[in-house]
């Protein structure tokens, strides 16, 4: 076991002391005066011993109170307490033959550790990995684990970005989870947040210019990526990413809201990170992926660095969700304003972004840029549901609260047979009826009240009050209290649901679609040029009641959706003899057409090679 030798960047400090708690097997030591080194980094004197695993420590700058290490791996007593040494190398990894997995064309499953199981821990989540493996999942995307104040929350208010939230089990539990996933053939992605830190427990200003007033984000001051001291801040971020991938054997990182990483330097932080991750991938001999969340609708995010792009492996494409959701539900408020028609669905399934350089009614200006036709669709992660699209609704209501079984089956088919990389939000696969709400655990009453007020205001800007007349008071949404334990409890998955007949049927449908995606070449293809959409032009489509049929062409396969309540005969335009490969309902083929009962879906392909 190698002794840990802490260091800290504090470029403007006159003195920095290492404040030590009790050693694992000894009394508390006296503070140690650190030595200033190059670039404003302070480190132990050469003759001072390193720290053993389990030793508590903190840094006191210029005689101030001791604060946690900005690179702390372990915060067992919370974000306001001392850091603790964690020896990542002590774990015996059982995945020595793990070859890794590229995120592109994986089937992704997004889960929140705190509500995925009743216990809300990483070890408890291990017990449900077999469910994900039999579902056909390739990669698990864990919502943020960085340590934050309190016991429960979404995780996007992390303040110790190198530490794993202790109520989830801490860093050792993450190692156990990743190892257990790999044994089952499941890759693991971690959601990381580099665009801001949470409001409580953020002590970075004690040490150096981690933030700048030159740029601002929705959360306040921007992280300093291009001002004085930015090189060390960028190193702090990149080292964090490399550490998760190298020391915890993670396969991918999902980068939250990269449009808020404001960087005017010649080389954008994301390009730097892309290059460094690629170098690590070569060193460890397995694929390592970066998934970006971006609001810019710009393919430059996934364009290689060598071609002047940011080099991300993939990015979320929210517009595909919006196009499907708005069409199925009839919702048109807020950011759904640009979608809700078959034409918008066509654009989303073939061009990715809606808009992609044209006018955005929601934003009131042109938005986005076209995606090159030959750019692999697998570079875009799409979904019918995710944590934002559920949790940012006033009541945390899922599509299963509004849509019938046929529409849920249609949503699954449109996502899982798309030319993109599909993602499923936890519980979606069985039509979970538990909500997923916004919940927090702030100890400061003023902060807690500010969150309550802020969430109500945010919901109001989405224009959703009209959807919830029972909780709207004078146009203001009276939403569940984020601080209430009942809000957290309501958001936990109910694992009795999958065994119920309706849920079990939908779960089987997801399994069937995932299997088809792997076994039918056209459905597994990311070639958007072989994707097109037809629809019943005689239908009005103004509301869900007007809906009729839609056919998505995926090469020589047809995904036929009947959203009408009545039986529809749909021309397939399929060369050769076809067969029903998957069927939600009782569809059958007749003289080159598909006959579908109301609210049903069928996937139709060839019995053999298409006729020449």
How buried is residue 28: exposed, middle or buried, by Cβ count under 10 Å (0-12/13-18/19+)?
A: exposed
Q: Is 256 a catalytic residue?
A: yes
CATH number reported for the structural domain that contains residue 419 in this entry: 3.20.20.80
CA 229, CA 233: separation in Å to the nearest integer? 7
Q: Of the listed 102, 293, 298, 376, which one is catalytic?
A: 293
| Per-residue pLDDT, 167 | 98
- Residue 159 annotated as binding site: no
Q: Is residue 130 part of a domain?
A: yes
- Residue 388 annotated as binding site: yes
Rounded average pLDDT over 316-336: 94
Q: Is residue 143 part of a domain?
A: yes
Q: Of the listed 226, 256, 386, 522, which one is catalytic?
A: 256
pTM of the predicted structure, to 2 decimals: 0.96
Q: Is residue 286 part of a domain?
A: yes
- Residue 318 annotated as binding site: yes
Q: Which domain holds residue 205?
A: 108-437
Q: Is residue 200 part of a domain?
A: yes
- Least confident residue range of 94-98, 196-200, 362-366, 559-563: 94-98
pLDDT digit string, tens, across residues 388-442: 999 999 899 999 999 999 999 999 999 999 999 999 999 999 999 999 999 999 9
* Averaged confidence pLDDT in the chain: 94
Q: Is residue 596 part of a domain?
A: no
CA distances in angstroms from 247 to 86, 87, 436, listed in the order given: 12, 10, 32
Q: Is residue 517 part of a domain?
A: no
Closest CA to 578 of 612, 551, 609: 609
CA 605, CA 520: separation in Å to the nearest integer? 9
- Residue 391 annotated as binding site: yes
Judged against a pLDDT cut of 70, whether residue 444 lies above it is answered with yes
Three-state DSSP at 400 gives helix
Q: Is 293 a catalytic residue?
A: yes
Rounded average pLDDT over 2-15: 95
| Count of structural domains within the chain | 1
pLDDT digit string, tens, across residues 52-88: 999 999 999 999 999 999 999 999 999 999 999 999 9
Cis peptide before 200 (omega within 30 of 0): no
Q: What percent of the chain has pLDDT over 90?
A: 89
- Residue 43 annotated as binding site: no
Judged against a pLDDT cut of 90, whether residue 122 lies above it is answered with yes
Contact 72, 83 (CB under 8 A): yes
- Residue 152 annotated as binding site: no
Q: How confident is the model at residue 609 (pLDDT cuts 50, 70, 90)?
A: very low
Rounded average pLDDT over 517-540: 97
Other C-beta atoms lying within 10 Å of the C-beta of residue 21: 18
Q: Is residue 458 part of a domain?
A: no
| Per-residue pLDDT, 124 | 98
- Residue 259 annotated as binding site: yes
Q: How confident is the model at residue 152 (pLDDT cuts 50, 70, 90)?
A: very high
- Residue 387 annotated as binding site: yes
pLDDT digit string, tens, across residues 334-352: 889 999 999 999 999 999 9
Phi-psi region of 313 (alpha: psi -120 to 50; beta: other; left: phi over 0): alpha
Q: Give me 397's structure tokens.
A: 């209501």
Going by the DSSP 8-state scheme, the letter that residue 258 receives in this structure is G
How many residues does the structure list for the chain? Answer: 612
- Residue 295 annotated as binding site: no
- Residue 321 annotated as binding site: yes
Contact 252, 291 (CB under 8 A): yes
Q: Give me 398's structure tokens.
A: 């899922």
| SS3 of 492-549 | CCCCCHHHCHHHHHHHHHHHHHHHHHHHCHHHHCCCHHHEEEEECCCCCCCCHHHCCE
Helix, strand, coil share (%) of the chain residues, nearest 5: 35, 20, 45
Rounded average pLDDT over 96-122: 96
- Residue 547 annotated as binding site: no
CA 132, CA 110: separation in Å to the nearest integer? 11
Q: Is residue 540 part of a domain?
A: no
| Per-residue pLDDT, 475 | 62
| Per-residue pLDDT, 611 | 40
């Amino acid at each position: 076991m190698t002794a840990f030798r802490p260091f800290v960047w504090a470029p403007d400090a006159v003195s920095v002391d290492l404040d030590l708690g009790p050693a694992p097997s000894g009394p508390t030591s006296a503070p140690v005066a650190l030595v200033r080194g190059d670039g404003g980094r302070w480190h132990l004197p050469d003759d001072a011993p390193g720290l053993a695993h389990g030793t508590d420590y903190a840094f006191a700058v210029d005689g101030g109170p001791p604060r946690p290490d900005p690179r702390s791996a372990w915060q067992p007593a919370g974000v306001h307490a001392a850091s603790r040494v964690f020896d990542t190398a002590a774990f015996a990894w059982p995945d020595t033959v793990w070859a890794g997995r590229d995120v592109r064309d994986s089937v992704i499953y997004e889960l929140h550790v705190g509500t995925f199981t009743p216990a809300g821990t990483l070890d408890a989540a291990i017990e449900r990995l077999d469910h994900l493996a039999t579902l056909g999942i390739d990669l698990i995307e864990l919502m943020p684990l960085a340590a934050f104040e309190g016991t429960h929350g979404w995780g996007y208010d992390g303040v110790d970005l190198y530490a794993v939230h202790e109520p989830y089990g801490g860093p050792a539990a993450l190692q156990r989870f990743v190892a257990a996933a790999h044994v089952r053939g499941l890759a693991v992605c971690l959601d990381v947040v580099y665009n801001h830190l949470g409001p409580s427990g953020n002590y970075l200003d004690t040490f150096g210019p981690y933030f700048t007033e030159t740029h601002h984000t929705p959360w306040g001051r921007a992280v300093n990526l291009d001002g004085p001291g930015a090189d060390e801040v960028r190193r702090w971020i990149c080292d964090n990413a490399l550490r998760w991938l190298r020391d915890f054997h993670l396969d991918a990182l999902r980068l939250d809201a990269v449009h808020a990483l404001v960087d005017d330097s010649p080389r954008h932080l994301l390009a730097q990170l892309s290059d460094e991750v690629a170098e690590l991938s070569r060193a460890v001999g397995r694929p390592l992926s970066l998934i970006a969340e971006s609001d810019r609708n710009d393919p430059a995010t996934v364009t290689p660095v060598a071609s002047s792009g940011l080099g991300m492996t993939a990015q979320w494409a929210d517009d595909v969700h919006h196009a499907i959701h708005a069409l199925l539900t009839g919702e048109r408020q807020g950011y759904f304003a640009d979608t809700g028609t078959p034409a918008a669905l066509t654009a989303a399934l073939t061009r990715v972004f809606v808009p992609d350089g044209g006018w955005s009614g929601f934003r009131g200006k042109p938005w986005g840029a076209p995606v090159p036709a030959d750019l692999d669709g697998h570079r875009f992660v799409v979904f019918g549901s995710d944590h934002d699209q559920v949790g940012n609704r006033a009541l945390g209501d899922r599509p299963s609260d509004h849509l019938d079984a046929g529409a849920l089956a249609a949503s699954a088919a449109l996502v899982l047979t798309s030319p993109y990389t599909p993602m499923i939000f936890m519980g979606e696969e069985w039509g979970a009826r538990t909500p997923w709400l916004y919940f927090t655990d702030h100890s400061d009453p003023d902060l807690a009240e500010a969150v309550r007020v802020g969430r109500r205001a945010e919901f109001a800007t989405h224009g959703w009050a009209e959807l919830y007349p029972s909780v709207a008071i004078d146009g203001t949404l009276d939403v569940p209290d984020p601080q209430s334990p009942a809000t957290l409890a309501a958001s936990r998955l109910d694992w009795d649901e999958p065994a119920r007949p309706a849920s079990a049927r939908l779960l089987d449908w997801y399994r069937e679609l995932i299997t088809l995606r792997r076994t039918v070449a056209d459905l597994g293809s990311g070639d958007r040029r072989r994707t097109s959409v037809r629809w019943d032009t005689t239908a009005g489509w103004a509301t869900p009641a007007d809906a009729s049929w839609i056919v998505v062409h995926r090469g020589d396969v047809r995904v036929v959706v009947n959203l009408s309540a009545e039986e529809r005969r749909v021309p397939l335009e399929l060369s050769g003899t076809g067969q029903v490969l998957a069927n939600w309902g009782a569809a059958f083929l007749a003289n080159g057409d598909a006959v579908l009962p109301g609210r049903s879906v069928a996937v139709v392909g060839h019995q053999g090679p298409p006729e020449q």
